[in-house]
Amino acid sequence: MEGAELIIQEINREAEQKIQYILNEAQREAEKIKEEAKKKAEAKAEWILRKAKTQAEMEKQRAIASAKLEVRKKRLAVQEEMIKAVISALKDRLASLPDEEYFMTLVSLTSEALEELGVNKAVLRSNERTLKLIVERLPEFKKGVSETIGRDVDITVGEPINTIGGILVESVDGSVRVDNTFEARMERFEAELRARIAKILFG
């Protein structure tokens, strides 16, 4: 019996060792799984945090860009209003030029138009104030234009038109014309005019 007991004890000891080994391995595996799970959770948390920070930064940049755009729009709107105000004031100034200054301007505008048309006879049209000024000083007007373009001209005053000033010059048969009214000239040179005004106002 003594030998049998020893064998049983040995079996029990080996069994205990195996059980302890298995328990230890199970414990280590459990720790490993726990550690890996913890790392994954931390990695996921870090990823979520990074994503949140990135999204927050993107939102911030979008908000900044939107605010800058809004400021730019408002600034441009204010600048546009100021440019329009200057153009309106300029039209008022042109419409109320003193007679002597206006007369010389009309001579220049008419001469320029006749040069462009290449004719010696023309009909002039403008508002009533302008036509009256030309009629009152017609010989002087013709002389000024003739001296400017270097040839004699035959000028007739036509019907009035709706304009703030300047002159519309037509061939006698009405087939060709040069519109040198102030509105037409401002429209033709609008880009340049606006650029000059903007430079004066805003540098």
**pLDDT, tens only, 118-177:** 998 999 999 999 999 999 999 999 999 999 999 999 999 999 999 999 999 999 988 899
Q: Rounded to whole angstroms, how far apart are CA atoms 96 and 165?
A: 9
Q: Rounded to whole angstroms, how far apart are CA atoms 123 and 168?
A: 8
Q: Rounded to whole angstroms, how far apart are CA atoms 174 and 201?
A: 42
- Residue 201's nearest CA partner among 74, 69, 84 is 84
Q: Is the pTM of this model over 0.75?
A: no
Residue 202 tokens, joined: 């805003």
**pLDDT, tens only, 88-121:** 988 899 999 999 999 999 999 999 999 999 998 9
Q: Rounded to whole angstroms, how far apart are CA atoms 130 and 142?
A: 15
The C-alpha R_g of the chain, in whole angstroms, comes to 47
